[in-house]
A and B are shown apart, each in its own frame.
Chain A
């Protein structure tokens, strides 16, 4: 499974757009990209998943360039409640098995 690298921490203010970039240089053809959000003492929560180009849902957008060696999670107009750890993961398409979590990006949103 491809290793991912993302910033350890980021700071933002309420109302700003936050972009968290993840690099996955060794991503394979069959790999897809998934982002999770985790609050303290809770299980990770699925945010968004994509394979290429752009994916958008009611929570976030995911931008994936043509070479797929990186991806960017975009959170529009963050609020204090978006303070959490965000994990970028790469997994095989339609293949079950373990997810490998890194340390994630600790996002702190300030008023």
Chain B
């Protein structure tokens, strides 16, 4: 496995701008997750895909946030009209559904967003 990759690694934007992040999961992993982490806190769940279907969304995911996973491969997370409170590390994780063991999520390196 080559690991979960995320791009860009860092993004600085001005308040009100739109930003888009990309996540490439481990190949053959059918589940993909987005989390957000602020300084000193553990990651907070945002949303979850199984294949191309978005199965769960957190209340943290306001209407300014949208996530897609076309064709069940890579995923994008878009934030519209960014606010300073959106500044955080955005983490992507993936896992493979199995019948024999726990659902182990493997995380990418994250995208650090700074909203000025």
Contacts and interface: CB of A to CB of B under 8 A. Distances in A.
A6 B24 CA distance: 32
B48 to A, nearest CB: 6
Interface in A39-69: 41-46, 49, 51
Chain A contact residues: over half helix, strand or loop, or mixed? Answer: loop
B107 A44 contact: yes
A49 to B, nearest CB: 5
B42 to A, nearest CB: 3
A96 B95 contact: yes
Given A41-B89, A42-B110, A43-B109, A95 B103 contact: yes
B79 interface: no
Contact of A96 (B48, B89, B99, B100): B48
Interface of B: 4, 31, 33, 35, 40-45, 48, 50, 55-56, 58, 89, 91-93, 95, 97-110, 112
Interface of A: 32, 34, 36, 41-46, 49, 51, 87, 91-104
